[in-house]
Amino acid sequence: MKIKTIAVNGIIAALYIAITGIIQPIAFSQIQFRIPEMFNHLIVFNKKYFFGIVLGVFLANLFFSDLLPYDLYFGVAHSIICLSLTILISTFVKNVWARMIVNTLIFSGMMFIIAYELNLAIGLPFWETWLFTAIGEFVVMAIGAPLMKAIDARVKFEKMM
C-alpha cells in the first residue's frame, strides 16, 4: 500500500471523528441527520477510501456509541459489506451520479444488519426497524450525495488519493 494512501485514510478517519464530534452536535443535534454518513459516498470517487471510512465508523462507535458492543461489530460490518458491494458494482458503473445512487440504495437496503443488531440488543421488531432505519439512511445518503458532489467539484476526491 502506498504511503500516501495510508496517510490519507488515517486523516479521513480523523476528519470523520472531528465532524461527528463538532459539527454534528451544533448543526443537527435535534435532527436524526448523521452528517458523517456522507463520507460513505467517498467510495464512489476512489475505492482507496475504503479503510478511511471503515476506520472512521469504528472510531466513532468507540468514542460515541451508546450501543458500544453491538455497534463495534454490526456498524463496522455494515460499512464493510456495503462499501465492498459498491466497489464491486462500480467496476461496471462508471458514472459518479449512478454510483452514488447505487451506494445510497446499498447502504439503505443493507440496514437489515442494523435492524438485526437492534433486534438482538433491545428486542426491537426486525421488519419495522429495518423499514425505519432504511428510510433514515436513504434520506441521509440522498441528501449527502449532492453535497459530496459539490465538495468534490472543489476538492477533487479522486485525485487526492
Q: Which residues of 116-153 are buried (b: 16+ CB within 10 A; e: fewer)?
A: bbbbeeeebeeeebbeebbebbbebbeebbeebbeebe
Q: Residue 55 or residue 94: which is nearer to other proteins going by CB?
A: 55
Half-sphere exposure of 66 (CA within 13 A, CB side): 2
For residue 73, the minimal CB distance to other proteins (Å) is: 8
CA distance 37 to 17: 11
Half-sphere exposure of 88 (CA within 13 A, CB side): 7
Q: Residue 80 or residue 89: which is nearer to other proteins going by CB?
A: 80
Cell of 9: 485514510
Q: Residue 64 or residue 97: which is nearer to other proteins going by CB?
A: 64
Q: Residue 97 or residue 125: which is nearer to other proteins going by CB?
A: 125
Chain contacts with other proteins (rule: CB under 8 A): 1, 3-4, 6-15, 17-19, 21-23, 25-29, 31, 33, 35, 51-52, 55-56, 58-59, 62-63, 66-69, 73, 121-124, 143-144, 147, 150-151, 154-155, 160
CA distance 156 to 91: 20
Q: Residue 88 or residue 121: which is nearer to other proteins going by CB?
A: 121
For residue 89, the minimal CB distance to other proteins (Å) is: 22
For residue 109, the minimal CB distance to other proteins (Å) is: 22
Rg (CA), the chain: 15
For residue 71, the minimal CB distance to other proteins (Å) is: 10
